Copies of this chain bind each other. A is one copy, B any other.
């Protein structure tokens, strides 16, 4: 009854023009995190967003165009969230990196769909069939590197490690994020995703000769 009431109030209050686009991206984000991109139909998106199919194709030339906009919106949203976090204010660069890992572990306290990655899920399916979505996922993953890259560069500048670059090390954070999500989904347990960050932290402490406080 409550859902029906919500749904009819939505039909009565058609979203304003700009709002329809934002609402379609928002419902797409939820659906893609729950069941993937291919399983999310334009009809389902329109019904959930309370917009007509005409409105959908006014804002997006195709489902693929929605996919690109969804991933780019995701990149902007997550970059903003990480950039605004207090770990960036710690004086020591390696402490900033450890603060990022603490935040990542904290995010795993939510239900799995809430920490599932829109870019990682979508590129898994669309990397070959949609170069435009793959490029959007590349922008997203590369933006993820930036959450830690300047801190790692500063840490390596103060304490060089032979054979290790800040770029290569920054990629390992996305490996842990994306690989951890797949293990969490398969095993239906966020524990292995958390443990991926624990091992990455242990690796960094060994590389930089910074043992954990007892």
Q: Is A213 an interface residue (CB 8 A)?
A: no
Shortest C-beta distance, A97 to chain B (Å), equals 15
Instruction: Decide if B127 touches A125 in the complex (CB within 8 Å).
Output: no
Q: Is A192 an interface residue (CB 8 A)?
A: yes
Q: A198 to chain B: which residues have CB within 8 Å?
A: 168
Q: Which of A105-135 contact B (CB under 8 A)?
A: 112-113, 119-121, 123-129, 134
Q: A176 to chain B: which residues have CB within 8 Å?
A: 175, 179
Main secondary structure of the interface of A (DSSP, over half): helix
Q: Is A180 an interface residue (CB 8 A)?
A: yes
Instruction: Decide if B123 touches A182 in the complex (CB within 8 Å).
Output: yes
Instruction: Decide if A123 touches B36 in the complex (CB within 8 Å).
Output: no
Q: A36-B38, A176-B179, A206-B207 are in contact. Are A186 and B119 (CB under 8 A)?
A: yes
Other-chain contact of A123, B113, B137, B164, B186 (Cβ < 8 Å): B186
Shortest C-beta distance, A84 to chain B (Å), equals 24
Cα of A96 to Cα of B125 in the assembled complex, Å: 33
Other-chain contact of A36, B120, B124, B175 (Cβ < 8 Å): B124
CB closest chain-B residue, reference A139? B186
Instruction: Decide if A171 touches B185 in the complex (CB within 8 Å).
Output: no
Q: A140-B186, A196-B175 are in contact. Are A120 and B124 (CB under 8 A)?
A: yes
Q: Which of A156-186 contact B (CB under 8 A)?
A: 163-164, 168-169, 171-172, 174-180, 182-183, 185-186
Give the one of A120, A178, A186 with max B CB within 10 A. A186
Cα of A102 to Cα of B192 in the assembled complex, Å: 24
Cα of A39 to Cα of B137 in the assembled complex, Å: 18
Q: A171 to chain B: which residues have CB within 8 Å?
A: 183, 192, 195-196
